[in-house]
Amino acid sequence: MKQGFSLSAILLAGVILIIAGGCAKKSATTPNPAPPAVSTNTLVTVISVQKAQCGGTVTSEGSGTVSARGICYAVAPKMPTLSDPHTVDGAGSGIFTSTMDSLTANTVYFARAYATSSVGTSYGDRVSFYANPVSHLFPGQNYGGGIIFYVDGSLNHGLIAATSEYSASWGCKGLSIPGTSVSLNTGHPNTNTIIGACTEKTIAARICTGLVINGKSDWFLPSREELTLLFLRKDYVGEFSNDNYWSSSQYDANQAYSVNFGSGSANLSAKNEILWIRAIRAF
């Protein structure tokens, strides 16, 4: 009798230890819920005295579902949060564009993207801009041979898109052309670099430089970032195909960057592929 009782006690103690050990192990390996991840577009376009446009990208929804996304903004040096003026521009992951309203002229603002899910709210990096009303140039305006799609912070300079488009290959597959960049303000030198190195006649860069529209002949093939900016502002310009468009940014000897105007994604395309072309120029 005494021996049976001891054996039962030992078995019961063993079961308790196994259960406790299993619970501890499960608790140790349970990951914390992940918040969403969002980045802020570094380009801010001042549209008018009281309006400016920015945006961002929700790169991951984390452990939950993003129910709201947009831009929050405040007069500098205050770091903006959802307690400040903010936009709501849809839900889920992906690229979004926001219009900030009721700005005060001649004032410096801070802005940053946000994304909210059941886990919490995440913010992107902070950008700054100056609400300056002294300009007659604005996105969507017919100007300089095409339509303005971007005006920089000075309100006197920006980028214009042609209203016609063409199709061709990037050219010179197998030839590495060093010196091209993906960055903003590099499309023009990229185009000149391509033409200087590639002797093929009907290529995307040469088609752009051969254009003369309303007396303007300084058209070029946009860099990857300029082309992405055109995608984000495409509603100002007009209709585009939902297919890939060539940029002037080379990746390697056989591929160059393109941007899909259905999704906004940057892709690598073989240089001998026939893709759409939309020339731009700077002012």
47-59 residue pLDDT tens:
777 899 999 999 9
Q: How far apart are CA 117 and CA 61, in angstroms?
A: 8
Residue 106: is its pLDDT beyond 80? Answer: no
Which run of H or of E encompasses 25?
helix 2-29
What 3-state class would DSSP assign to 157?
coil
Q: How far apart are CA 262 and CA 129, in angstroms?
A: 29
- Give percent of the chain above pLDDT 70: 88
- Give percent of the chain above pLDDT 90: 72
Does 21 or 35 have the greater pLDDT score?
35
**142-282: CATH class:** alpha beta
CA-based nearest residue to 247, from 194, 198, 202, 196 = 194
| Start and end residues for every CATH 2.60.40.10 domain found in the chain | 37-131
| Start and end residues for every CATH 3.10.100 domain found in the chain | 142-282
CATH of 37-131 given 1.10.1200.10, 3.90.76.10, 2.60.40.10, 3.40.395.10: 2.60.40.10
Q: How far apart are CA 194 and CA 206, in angstroms?
A: 8
In this predicted structure, what is the pLDDT of residue 236? 84
Residue 218: is its pLDDT beyond 80? Answer: yes
Range of weakest confidence among 153-167, 168-182, 203-217, 257-271: 153-167
Q: How many CB atoms lie within 10 A of CB 57?
A: 18
Report residue 99 as tokens.
Answer: 């219009």
Residue 23: is its pLDDT beyond 60? Answer: no
CA-based nearest residue to 190, from 179, 203, 202, 201 = 179
pLDDT band at 249 (very low <50, low <70, confident <90, very high): very high
